[in-house]
Amino acid sequence: MTDGHIAQADGLDGLETPCLLLDADRLQANVAGMRARLDRLGVSLRPHLKTAKSLDVARVAMASPSGPATVSTLREAEHFAEGGIRDLIYAVGIAPQKLDRVGAIRRRWGTDLAIVLDSVEQAEAVTAWSRRNGDTLPVLIEVDADGHRSGVKPKDAERLVAIGGMLADGACLRGVLLHAGDSYGLTDPAALTRAAEDERRAAVTAATILREAGLPCPVVSVGSTPTARYAENLDGVTEVRAGVFMIGDLFQAGVGSCGIGDIALTVLATVIGHQRDKGWIITDAGWMALSRDRGTARQRVDQGYGLVCDRAGRSYPDLIVRDANQEHGIVGLRAGSSAAVPDLPVGARLRILPNHACATGAQHDRYHVLSGGRHTGEAWPRINGW
């Protein structure tokens, strides 16, 4: 007996809630599917580890124990370098104040850590640092695939060549890097395919400009989970950086990048009360466990703070986390539903599919691993911070 309930064979009763569950079978299937897809398109996978933030997950996702991989923080770079990963891209525009830390990672672990920039000012700082420290930093120029965020316009030859020329004075121009961020706002398969082709074309255009100016561009790196899923042609691209595909979430399901059944991440929660006149079930997983991310509110199906499943991971019809306080989740039917609220007593366990795997994962320090529908007893550490 556990908490007045009969312990079940899935091994979840021994876990303190709220906690993070990771289905290793789904994780492995998601990685295998993406790798097979990119193999058919003739490009390599450089998985982005910003969602997973776990060495154990990285070892499932990467082609070898030493990489390659992508990170979004220098804390991630340190963690994965310490764990033996030797081929990394720090895929956020570099701040000059971070160059000493980049250099320390490269020296301490012998890691080929490349950086990203999109301005002559950054290139000047990187080149000066490289000469001063005797470390020829490898650099990728960020190119703007779609006006989403950062990067040089793909046809801005003057700026591309100016940056590349500055790097040639002490650093090492390795190539171009793009992220089709606007793809996250799409849901139509045809539009996603066009976004993937736009990303590819922008990458090849920028690479061609650099090469025709006599500058090196061996790496042409693109990446987003939606465009990786919908690309039909990656000619001229050398690698794809995608990350959330390996775990999935409700936002990606809304985009069409995965199915609900592909999502490998859930938050295990316990029923702690009811407001039966309101049709509410109260759990111990509030926004501190789920995050405040409400990205699906802008999609066709609003999943509240998460889609509610039974302890086996089967979703209840129209049952979502409708609202959340810091440590309380308010579970109820989505507006307009005629489904029945399940009869779940105090102490019952639920699993909640997250809106955004990155944000939900950031609330936790480990994954409790499932395989074959059971808790394996393993806990895979994950890290946070910058």
Has residue 254 been placed in a domain?
A: no
Instruction: Please tell me whether residues 209 and 150 are part of one structural domain.
Output: yes
Mean of the pLDDT values across residues 160-174?
98
CATH number for the domain that contains residue 240: 3.20.20.10
pLDDT band at 65 (very low <50, low <70, confident <90, very high): very high
- For residue 159, is pLDDT > 80? yes
pLDDT tens per residue across span 242-257: 999 999 999 999 999 9
Q: How many domains does the chain have?
A: 2
Instruction: Give the pLDDT confidence score for residue 6 in this predicted structure.
Output: 59
pTM score, whole prediction: 0.95
Instruction: Please tell me whether residues 273 and 165 are part of one structural domain.
Output: no
Instruction: Please tell me whether residues 97 and 151 are part of one structural domain.
Output: yes
Instruction: Give the pLDDT confidence score for residue 1 in this predicted structure.
Output: 33
pLDDT tens per residue across span 298-312: 999 999 999 999 999
Instruction: Please tell me whether residues 48 and 184 are part of one structural domain.
Output: yes
In which domain, by residue range, is 169 found?
Answer: 27-244
Instruction: Please tell me whether residues 165 and 238 are part of one structural domain.
Output: yes
Instruction: Give the pLDDT confidence score for residue 179 in this predicted structure.
Output: 96
Calculate what percentage of the chain has a pLDDT beyond 70: 98
pLDDT tens per residue across span 7-17: 689 999 999 99
Of 190, 210, 244, the domain-final residue: 244
Has residue 286 been placed in a domain?
A: yes
Instruction: Please tell me whether residues 231 and 283 are part of one structural domain.
Output: no
Alpha-carbon span 224 to 243, nearest angstrom: 8
Instruction: Please tell me whether residues 193 and 168 are part of one structural domain.
Output: yes
Of 210, 244, 278, the domain-final residue: 244
Instruction: Give the pLDDT confidence score for residue 279 in this predicted structure.
Output: 97
- For residue 140, is pLDDT > 80? yes
Of 244, 279, 305, the domain-final residue: 244
Calculate what percentage of the chain has a pLDDT beyond 90: 97
Has residue 315 been placed in a domain?
A: yes
Mean of the pLDDT values across residues 164-183?
97
- For residue 4, is pLDDT > 50? no
Instruction: Give the pLDDT confidence score for residue 22 in this predicted structure.
Output: 98
Has residue 344 been placed in a domain?
A: yes
